[in-house]
Structure 1
Amino acid sequence: MQNRLVLTATVEREDVLRYTPAGVPVLEMWLRHQSRQTEAGAERDVICEIQSVMVGEACRAWAGRVAGQELTVSGFLCQRSLRNPRLVLHIESAEFVKG
């Protein structure tokens, strides 16, 4: 089964880097995507905001650097927690969009 998402979006908000009780770094951010897509032969404006999280040592390099920046991210979708079914994008890789 596949669960992959690639998205180019602007980081609307970035939380302060935090650590799990086990000492694993976690960076939460909110991504805003805006584009024009073709659906069923018609043009459609697409606007969405998605909560995302980056976990592990790699997120240290991104902390404090991404708010307001445009990124292309890839990762997988998962519910926030066992009790909260809201979808969150778990970012596995990210790069700044050249502009």
Structure 2
Amino acid sequence: MEINRVQLSGQLLSVQPLRYTPAGIPVTEATLGHHSEQQEADLKRQVTCEVPVKALGNLAHQLAAATIGTSLKATGFIAAKSLKSRQLILHLDTIEF
């Protein structure tokens, strides 16, 4: 199996209303804002980005109920947003508030 794991901390910038798949699984998407200082080529680098995330099942309920601005740590894997859009989205396995 190839490695595809991402762990990112940040603040919840936006969250879409909870919806359900045709199979009845709860799903929501949100945006996580991240800011940190990283080391690159022996230099300090300020990193600021916004990352789209997706949660299904119980995690979707937790994320949909979260307040904008809440700090969280998200863990999951990256995948294409859809068959038509190759943009990356972080699919969540765990959320720690």
> Structure 1 length as normaliser, TM-score?
0.91
Q: What aligned pairs does 1:64-83 form with structure 2 within 5 A after superposition?
A: 64-83=65-84
Give 5+ residue unaligned stretches, structure 1: none
* 1:49 has 2:19 as partner: no
30-39 vs 50-59, which moves further: 50-59
1:3 aligns with 2:27: no
Aligned length: 96
Task: List gaps (5 residues or longer) in structure 2.
Answer: none
Q: Deviations over 1:69-95 (max 9, x none)?
A: 010010000000111000000011010
Matched AA of 2:86: P
Task: Return the offset for 1:68.
Answer: 1.1
Between the two proteins, what is the percent identity of the paired residues?
38
Counterpart in the other structure of 1:39: 40
After superposing on structure 2, the runs of 4+ consecutive aligned residues of structure 1 that deviate more than 3 Å are none
**What's the CA shift for 1:58?**
3.3
Q: CA RMSD for the aligned pairs?
A: 1.0
Q: Is 1:59 equivalent to 2:28 in the alignment? A: no
Counterpart code for 1:68: G
